A and B are shown apart, each in its own frame.
Chain A
Amino acid sequence: MSQKVTSDILKKGASVLWVAARAEPRLLIAAVLSSGLYAATTVGSASVLGRVTQDVVLPAFRDGRTTMGTLVLGGLAIVGVALLKALGVAGRRLYAGMVQYNMQAAYRRAVTRQYLRLPLAWHQRHPTGRLLSNANADVEAAWAPLAPLPMALGVVLMLVIAAIAILATDLVVAIVGFLVFPAIAGLNVIYQRRLAPVAAHAQRLRAGVSEVAHESFEGALVVKTLGREADETERFAAVAAELREANVAVGRLRGLFDPVLEALPNLGVLAVLLVGSIRLRSGAMSPGDLVHVAYLFTLLSFPIRALGWVLAEVPRSVVGWERVQNVLEATGSLPYGDRSVEGAGPARLEVRAVRFGYTDDDVLHDVAFTAEPGRTIAVVGPTGSGKSTLTNLLVRLVDPAGGQVLLDGVDARDVKRHGLSATTALVPQQAFLFDDTVRGNVALGLDVPDEDVWEALRLAQADGFVSALADGLDTHVGERGATLSGGQRQRLALARALIRRPRLLVLDDATSSVDPQVEARILDGLRDSAATVVVVAYRKATIELADDVVYIERGRVVAQGPHKELLERSAGYRALVTAYERAAEEPVPDEDEENEENEEAVA
């Protein structure tokens, strides 16, 4: 069973490498040829040294004289072979490296293209950390065997040459050799097979340690406020201890196999000497032959392990490849139509019987409303009622499970690629900024003059703080906009939407971190924009801006109409919107007395 699994993995590993061979045939051939050169010269250097000894050195000693010419010739032969060998090594390293890096780069591009292509629903099903490691560690693992591969192929060649050389020298010694080499190779295979699962386990645990550290440091404020440092350390210590044990398990295998693999060639040489000396006595071979064979043994003992290196990387490579393939083969695409919704002036939005759910439970049920061109619709509802989900549907970040979202009568699904992003703009609750300049974040790929950027910043009430920044529009905002406050981030996100002069503007509680006075000015500015606006809001001033209100509770539209009308018609709406005034009017909650009694009872 495990035998079958291993051969399966090797087969898969070979097919992964075949992909690389087809993608980068020239570089790979160059690498293998260089490696072959290295192999041939490695064996050759032994022969050259032997020949120089035999033909130059020994005669010189015997005869007591030599000529400068023969000496220099001998020296040049040695250096010449080494030069070729060096060329082989350099070529192998460079070309093998290039194959590996090119493949990594190509697949990183392919994987991230998928991220950009796949629908948001797919993103929501896959944790961030997983997607990051798909593009980084998994791609790296998939192509890791490419580095030692040419060397291993060269070794095979080297073994063949050596085998022929030894066979030609003496059959009996060759038999000893053919026992030792397969033993080394076989032991290596056993070693790598035993090591692979243990090493893979350690690798997984390493990822686990990193995840815990990342989460814990990210939540550092919460850890501090609740004084949970010691418990978090314990949680981390537990995964670190697991990793330690896994590393020690790897170490135990290495500790056992490494000395054995190192001893084997030495024992092989000794065996050759023992057998060889017997052959020597019977006159079957000369001392020079025996030295040559013994030298070949020592030469080969190291490179033969390259076979093991490739095999060691194969299981990880297969796993990495499969995870990368999962991304590349993900089908949940968001197909585009060919309709256009461009035009001047605000768009008409119609939501028809929309149903949506992240899991089996629907978050939105049968939602329907219409926003006539230029109108402003406020979406109001309690926390967790599905408002943000609805905003995602309006700009087609996700598609409804049932029903339709229509823009100027065109189903959002029939709009051509980039058609919607050119006409609609969503400002989400949590502003996301790129590690770029203020200008880059606002323009986001649009080719616009600075005046337009400033105009958008002015509308978003962000021109003040941006002009106070050291480099103005060229100021880098840092990772996720870390150098700005929450309210500043929100205003830049808003400017990013406004600069596009969208025909439909969707604001998802997009000014929650902005001071009320500033928010009021922003809302004033929006009145003049030529867009149909859908705004998720709690504040009355915002709702007041709206021509119509859609009131949602638990994913259903409970009531819709003008604010005043809803105040009268819908008890839930009234309770929600007037909560603050009512709180001010009746400052003493009814349960209070009860509670006090309870407390006394406890005391």
Chain B
Amino acid sequence: MTAVQTQPRSGLATLRRGLALTPEFRRGITGTLLLALVATAGRVVVPVAVQQTMDRGLRAHGGPDIGFIRTAVILCAVAVLMTAVAAYLMNIRLYRTSENGLAALRVRAFRHVHDLSMLTQSGERRGSLVSRVTSDVDQMSQFMQYGGLMIIIAGGQLIVATVLMAVYSWPLALLVWAVFAPLAFALRIFQRWLSKAYGAVRERVGDMLSAVGESVVGAPVIRAYGAEERTARRIDESVGAYRDAQVRAQSLVALTFPSTELAAAIATAGVVMAGTALGVGGHLTAGKLVAFLFLVTLFVSPLQVATEVLNDAQNAIAGWQRVLGVLDMTPDVADPGPAGVELPRGAIDVRFEDVSFAYPGGPTVLHDVSARIAPRSRIAVVGETGSGKTTFAKLLTRMMDPASGRVLIDGVPLTEVRFSSLRERIVMVPQDGFLFDASLADNIRFGRPEASDEDIHRVLTELGLGDWLDGLPEGPATPVGQRGESLSAGERQLVALARAYLADPDLLVLDEATSAVDPATEVRLQRAIESVTRGRTAVSIAHRLSTAEAADEVLVFDQGHLVQRGPHAALVAEPGRYAELYASWAAQLKI
């Protein structure tokens, strides 16, 4: 729904926008272009010079002119060497500049992805965001350093060959053009087929990777349910479809690629026949005809290169467009930047004013919520799944902006607070405690990298998790594995909580942050949180109502409305949603 819009931009527009966004590409470009000019000229002139030497020296009237050949050979050798040196210097500059630019582009796109709102991010397949900063950029790099150059050189060669052909014999030049004009047209059509075929290949790769991914990530389920054969079948299908798409694309390549070869032969044969006919009529010398034949080869080779490179070019432009597509998305939850308000530290006061929210294209999930959370108060937010309590938390932490109404902290609209200040003062612990593939200690100090090992020990002890830490094989150095999967779901939540606590916020928002933890630990944590958040504001979203009992105030959500609020003791006594929720909770506790 919020998928990256890759506006159909022309190649030139992409180039202009791309260069504007990545000025690094332009650094020293004049020098590089001058060297490229020399290298290109050399690559065109050298074969012509060699040909001329052969033609004039060997076929000179009265036998080979050895003196001329020697001079010409030496001059040619100098030209060859100069071309090589120019090409070398240009290559070095080109690689340096383009890699600098691409690295900068990568990093900029990466940062931009993080600046996009959670909503935008989750609208994308994660893999596709990753490829914006990896394979899309790699494709550009390949083209810039190889294909792009080839196209420039090929273009130069094409022009020189055409001019020389016309000078030698314009009727023959016309003949050559007559043969190649339909080919150029055909190549465009081939190109379209090819890009379609490669598009299919890329799609099949995606399917295959996703099928293979399931067999790895879903291994326990597959094993437990004996679904090996079904999975194998799905993988085989996708592997087979990928292979078929590859073969189909390759057949097209095999069909189209030699077409230039054939066209060249037809042109050569035509030139030989027409040239001889012209010669017989006295309009052309034998030497000129032989030289012309050489020019035909000079004319053909750039076309061959072009068929190879055009596909690269198309991929590179498409890749660049996708990267630009990400960079051009305006973050819908934007940081006001230096113009924004910096809030002083201290207990936080929160106000919701007529806040409503709807996911794009979806129904309204939060209706006109108004509430004030006093500084230093402990708030519990309760309600059934889908009641809007998590949305409330996301709006409070500005993961999303309301559709209407506003959220204020310390009297300042949330949208005007600088992110650096906001994220320092308000920290949310999400339900799924995502951990990075590093040690336990490094994960806990993620929010405050300068924290020492003692700090980490202190935090865990204060949270009553000292025993747990001691029980781990390597203590704080224990590696948590990818996504923290070496730990149990409950343990991951413990780490996520410690991480948020160490970050030392003024408002701590817990979104069912202890749902997978055992009751004794949860109660212990709850108490620890209570004591450590004393003097700060804390909002807990919970479906275990033990949290609500201990809170200063409870906010009760039902179907997107804030239906009740007040201390537990008062709410439980009056008939209403909370009393119902509490009754079913209590029923679970009783034996």
Q: B59 contacts which chain A residues (CB < 8 A)?
A: 287
Q: Indicate if the CB atoms of A515 and B543 lie closer than 8 Å.
A: yes
CA distance A172 to B427 in the complex (A): 83
Among B420, B496, B589, which residue has its beta carbon within 8 angstroms of that of A581? B589
With A255-B91, A421-B224 as contacts: A445 and B257 at CB distance below 8 Å:
no
Secondary structure call for the A interface: helix
Check: A26 CB closer than 8 A to any chain B CB: no
Q: A90 contacts which chain B residues (CB < 8 A)?
A: 254-255, 257-258
Check: A388 CB closer than 8 A to any chain B CB: yes
Chain A interface size range: 35 or more
Q: Which of B211-231 contact A (CB under 8 A)?
A: 212-231
By beta carbon, the residue of chain A nearest B81 is: A263
Among B114, B242, B546, which residue has its beta carbon within 8 angstroms of that of A233? B114
Task: Pick the interface stretch among A67-75, A163-171, A181-189, A365-373.
Answer: A67-75
Q: Which of A581-602 contact B (CB under 8 A)?
A: 581-584, 587, 589, 591-592, 595-596, 599
Chain B interface size range: 35 or more
Check: A17 CB closer than 8 A to any chain B CB: no
CA distance A171 to B503 in the complex (A): 82
Check: A4 CB closer than 8 A to any chain B CB: no
CA distance A222 to B428 in the complex (A): 8
Check: B14 CB closer than 8 A to any chain A CB: no
Q: Indicate if the CB atoms of B521 and A383 lie closer than 8 Å.
A: yes
Q: Indicate if the CB atoms of B423 and A98 lie closer than 8 Å.
A: no
8 more A-B contacts (CB under 8 A) besides A216-B114, A229-B111, A579-B519?
A: A74-B273, A89-B261, A213-B134, A225-B428, A248-B99, A262-B87, A270-B76, A429-B489
Q: Indicate if the CB atoms of A61 and B276 lie closer than 8 Å.
A: yes
Q: Indicate if the CB atoms of A244 and B99 lie closer than 8 Å.
A: yes
- The 0/1 profile, CB within 8 Å of A marked 1, for residues 532-546 of chain B is 101100000001101
With A580-B544, A589-B530 as contacts: A260 and B84 at CB distance below 8 Å:
yes
CA distance A135 to B236 in the complex (A): 13
Check: B384 CB closer than 8 A to any chain A CB: yes
Residue of B64, B141, B216, B447 contacting most chain A CB atoms (<10 Å): B216
Task: Pick the interface stretch among A110-118, A313-321, A337-345.
Answer: A110-118
Q: Which of B226-281 contact A (CB under 8 A)?
A: 226-232, 235-236, 239-240, 242-243, 246-247, 250-251, 253-255, 257-259, 261-262, 264-266, 268-270, 272-273, 275-277, 279-280
Q: Indicate if the CB atoms of B534 and A112 lie closer than 8 Å.
A: no
With A227-B422, A383-B491 as contacts: A82 and B261 at CB distance below 8 Å:
yes
Q: B77 contacts which chain A residues (CB < 8 A)?
A: 267, 270
In order of increasing CB-CB distance, the 10 nearest A-B pairs are: A227-B423, A251-B95, A82-B265, A421-B226, A255-B91, A445-B230, A383-B490, A86-B258, A97-B250, A75-B269
With A75-B273, A224-B118 as contacts: A231 and B216 at CB distance below 8 Å:
no
With A105-B239, A262-B84 as contacts: A65 and B280 at CB distance below 8 Å:
yes
Q: Indicate if the CB atoms of A425 and B225 lie closer than 8 Å.
A: yes
Q: Indicate if the CB atoms of B534 and A217 lie closer than 8 Å.
A: no
Chain A nearest CB: distance from B244 CB in Å?
Answer: 9
CA distance A129 to B303 in the complex (A): 41
- The 0/1 profile, CB within 8 Å of B marked 1, for residues 97-136 of chain A is 1100110110011001101110010010001110110011
Q: Indicate if the CB atoms of B227 and A444 lie closer than 8 Å.
A: yes
Among B254, B258, B272, which residue has its beta carbon within 8 angstroms of that of A52? B272
Among A388, A397, A512, which residue has its beta carbon within 8 angstroms of that of B515? A512
Among B129, B134, B258, which residue has its beta carbon within 8 angstroms of that of A89? B258
With A116-B222, A233-B111, A384-B487 as contacts: A270 and B80 at CB distance below 8 Å:
yes
Check: B359 CB closer than 8 A to any chain A CB: no
With A116-B215, A515-B384 as contacts: A109 and B239 at CB distance below 8 Å:
yes
Check: B482 CB closer than 8 A to any chain A CB: yes
Q: Indicate if the CB atoms of A247 and B141 lie closer than 8 Å.
A: yes
Q: Indicate if the CB atoms of A116 and B231 lie closer than 8 Å.
A: yes
- The 0/1 profile, CB within 8 Å of B marked 1, for residues 221-243 of chain A is 11111111111110011001101
Q: Indicate if the CB atoms of B220 and A392 lie closer than 8 Å.
A: yes
Check: B121 CB closer than 8 A to any chain A CB: yes
Q: Which of B574-591 contact A (CB under 8 A)?
A: 584-585, 587-591
Q: A78 contacts which chain B residues (CB < 8 A)?
A: 265, 268-269, 272
CA distance A377 to B532 in the complex (A): 38
Q: Indicate if the CB atoms of A591 and B214 lie closer than 8 Å.
A: no
Check: B286 CB closer than 8 A to any chain A CB: yes
Chain B nearest CB: distance from A498 CB in Å?
Answer: 12
Check: A432 CB closer than 8 A to any chain B CB: yes
Task: Pick the interface stretch among B102-110, B154-162, B310-318, B403-411.
Answer: B102-110
Q: Indicate if the CB atoms of B235 and A587 lie closer than 8 Å.
A: no
Check: B145 CB closer than 8 A to any chain A CB: yes
Q: Indicate if the CB atoms of A274 and B69 lie closer than 8 Å.
A: yes
With A85-B258, A287-B64, A432-B221 as contacts: A129 and B519 at CB distance below 8 Å:
no
CA distance A479 to B213 in the complex (A): 10
Q: Indicate if the CB atoms of B531 and A120 lie closer than 8 Å.
A: no
Check: B520 CB closer than 8 A to any chain A CB: yes
Q: Indicate if the CB atoms of B243 and A86 lie closer than 8 Å.
A: no
Q: Indicate if the CB atoms of A81 and B516 lie closer than 8 Å.
A: no
Chain B nearest CB: distance from A460 CB in Å?
Answer: 15
Q: A221 contacts which chain B residues (CB < 8 A)?
A: 118, 399, 430, 434
Check: B21 CB closer than 8 A to any chain A CB: no
Q: A175 contacts which chain B residues (CB < 8 A)?
A: none
Check: A204 CB closer than 8 A to any chain B CB: no
CA distance A174 to B462 in the complex (A): 86
Q: A500 contacts which chain B residues (CB < 8 A)?
A: 225
Q: Indicate if the CB atoms of A120 and B219 lie closer than 8 Å.
A: yes
Q: Indicate if the CB atoms of B212 and A580 lie closer than 8 Å.
A: no
Q: B385 contacts which chain A residues (CB < 8 A)?
A: 485, 487, 513-515
Q: Indicate if the CB atoms of A432 and B217 lie closer than 8 Å.
A: yes
Among B47, B220, B259, B290, which residue has its beta carbon within 8 angstroms of that of A53? B290
Q: Indicate if the CB atoms of B250 and A101 lie closer than 8 Å.
A: yes
Chain A nearest CB: distance from B556 CB in Å?
Answer: 14
Task: Pick the interface stretch among B2-10, B49-57, B169-177, B558-566.
Answer: B49-57
By beta carbon, the residue of chain A nearest B489 is: A429
CA distance A395 to B224 in the complex (A): 7
Check: B451 CB closer than 8 A to any chain A CB: no
By beta carbon, the residue of chain B nearest A418 is: B226
Q: Which of A267-287 contact B (CB under 8 A)?
A: 267, 269-270, 273-274, 277-278, 280-281, 287
Chain B nearest CB: distance from A523 CB in Å?
Answer: 10
Q: Indicate if the CB atoms of A256 and B88 lie closer than 8 Å.
A: yes
Q: Which of B348-378 contact A (CB under 8 A)?
A: none
Chain A nearest CB: distance from B437 CB in Å?
Answer: 6
Check: A176 CB closer than 8 A to any chain B CB: no
With A214-B126, A587-B549 as contacts: A251 and B103 at CB distance below 8 Å:
no
Among A129, A444, A554, which residue has its beta carbon within 8 angstroms of that of B225? A444
Among A418, A540, A583, which residue has its beta carbon within 8 angstroms of that of B590? A540
Q: Indicate if the CB atoms of A432 and B134 lie closer than 8 Å.
A: no
Q: Indicate if the CB atoms of B134 and A516 lie closer than 8 Å.
A: no
Q: A512 contacts which chain B residues (CB < 8 A)?
A: 515-516
By beta carbon, the residue of chain A nearest B425 is: A227
Q: A87 contacts which chain B residues (CB < 8 A)?
A: 258
Q: Indicate if the CB atoms of B141 and A266 lie closer than 8 Å.
A: no
With A214-B130, A270-B73 as contacts: A89 and B275 at CB distance below 8 Å:
no
CA distance A72 to B218 in the complex (A): 68
Among B64, B222, B276, which residue has its beta carbon within 8 angstroms of that of A56? B276
Q: Indicate if the CB atoms of B427 and A218 lie closer than 8 Å.
A: no
CA distance A599 to B212 in the complex (A): 55
CA distance A129 to B396 in the complex (A): 35
CA distance A357 to B119 in the complex (A): 41
Check: A210 CB closer than 8 A to any chain B CB: yes
What are 17 A-B interface contacts by the 8 Å CB criterion? Answer: A61-B286, A116-B228, A132-B216, A213-B110, A226-B446, A233-B107, A244-B102, A256-B88, A270-B73, A280-B58, A384-B487, A432-B217, A541-B589, A563-B591, A583-B523, A592-B530, A595-B534
Q: Indicate if the CB atoms of A384 and B482 lie closer than 8 Å.
A: no
Q: B488 contacts which chain A residues (CB < 8 A)?
A: 383-384, 388, 429
Check: A474 CB closer than 8 A to any chain B CB: no
